[in-house]
Structure 1
């Protein structure tokens, strides 16, 4: 969509919870169960500008992660983390209720030069649907369908920012013993997680070769958030900590303390390949444990 598109933000409010979603990026900005503080984090100031990704919330990462992984080409793909998070998606007004929204985006809206960066197909044809369902739980699902006559591969992630009282007093449990790629080190060495993932040292930026249900324990807010995934081949856990966090231009100093990113992902060697007519759904559900 061109410059005529608008930055509409939709609030879905029901007796079980509330969520805010931007048409730009099909981007969940916040979510909270009824009577509880927000679970999905957003910064104090949200900047809306065409061509720029929204910080916080749940950015939709597609069709490549970071600068992209391509075994046949080392060239960095642009824009970073793909075009989905900086595209105007189409809301399906017929599906809009007080607890559900559906958005669509297809390859016909993306320029040929950008599409040519797909892995395995320089002219892919696809449509994507993104579903948001909110109440006592929040479920987000990205479904991609190959509409062409040739296969293609893509990376995707649901880059979920979870609100915490202070990241140095939070931990992610459920990954003990899992292998991960440490992307803060040259060559992304394979490491093995020992105990919970903590955030009281250097930057944490890890691609865990595991998925399923994890728990974010937050000592300061006194709550546990369960994070479950479907269709994922990996889990990304990230917090930039002080030096890198304070250098992020669209965050105030110290805001890095307020979130942990736990992302359902399918990236690098574990990306998704779709044959003609095939679909794949990547989903994530958040719930506050009683």
Structure 2
């Protein structure tokens, strides 16, 4: 069996259009009909096996960044860094399901039997997890993305996940994220990730913003069936393009907001200087102590729905 190809699938209908890569099941762009792109892609997209695609919507799974183990954290110990960074979901070919796909929807699947056991051994709570994952993308005047993971084994396991969505803005300095006023967040730009409280809209001044907003239950309280998320009020106001993007995050336990800022953004090798100004990432997430634990037979769906307010 040969190496899968870097196929790009275009989904086009009267309500919207998107492009999706089989590599990473990665949404590269999406726009409602007659509007500028809402999901941002860089000027140049680099496709290389083992390397994550920049922009679009990378699938972060089954750990976030270098990984997190709440048991070790409670004991005051660091979690050993897991590889690859942000998990293997964004750096492997997913399997498209033609029977479940049409001009408005595509489904991808992945099974634990396809993953090297040495990589699976890094899962929290179970070094031999058995699972299957489906990723459904529905394209129209809104964009719906849903990652569903099912425990097919006899023992529980835990995982982190995020839909690392790059939203296109005309100029990030003229954009604000609304709807998180009063929420606690971890400021990951500072040592120890101190807890802060959001005061008003989130703005961007050219310095790095990297925050995990604690919008859902912690691992001690969360269950696989908990479908809460941020379904009302989370928006990105873009004065440069004169539009507001609405973001719903069903199944999320947290919301990540990120922009690298000028210094770090211009140092990113697969972006051109200044491209950092064209996006802000708002991500449905279940990470750190808000990770998902699945008992045998349980499933959890992490979703993100984007639309443009009229």
Match of 1:83 in 2: 88
Query: Secondary structure at the residue paired with 2:110?
Result: strand
Q: Distance in 1 between matches of 2:128 and 2:20?
A: 30
State the partner residue of 2:243.
223
Q: Which residue in 1 is equivalent to 2:279?
A: 259
Aligned partner of 1:55 in structure 2 is: 54
CA distance in 2, matches of 1:29, 1:235: 21
Q: Which residue of 1 aligns with 2:75?
A: none
Deviation at 1:201, TM superposition (A): 4.6
Partner of residue 270, structure 1: 290
CA apart distance, 1:3: 5.6
Instruction: Measure the CA separation in 2 of the matches of 1:175 and 1:93.
Output: 39
2:28 aligns with 29
Following superposition, the deviation at residue 66 of structure 1 comes to: 0.3
Q: Could you say which residue in structure 1 is the equivalent of 2:252?
A: 232
Do the aligned residues in 1 keep the contact of 2:8 with 2:19 (CA within 8 Å)?
yes
Look up the match of 1:248.
Answer: 268
- Structure 1 regions of 5+ residues with no counterpart? none
SS in 2 for 1:197: coil
2:300 alignment counterpart: 280
What secondary structure is seen at the aligned counterpart in 2 of 1:51?
coil
Q: How many angstroms does 1:139 deviate by?
A: 0.2
Matching of residues 1-290 of structure 1 within 5 Å? 4-71=3-70, 72=72, 74-210=79-215, 211-212=229-230, 213=232, 214-290=234-310
Structure richer in strand, relative to its length? 1
What is the root-mean-square deviation in Å for CA atoms of aligned residues?
A: 0.9
Aligned residues: 289
**How far 1:74 sits from its partner (Å)?**
1.9
Q: TM-score, normalised by structure 1?
A: 0.98
1:202 deviates by: 2.0
Query: 1: distance between equivalents of 2:200 and 2:129?
Result: 42
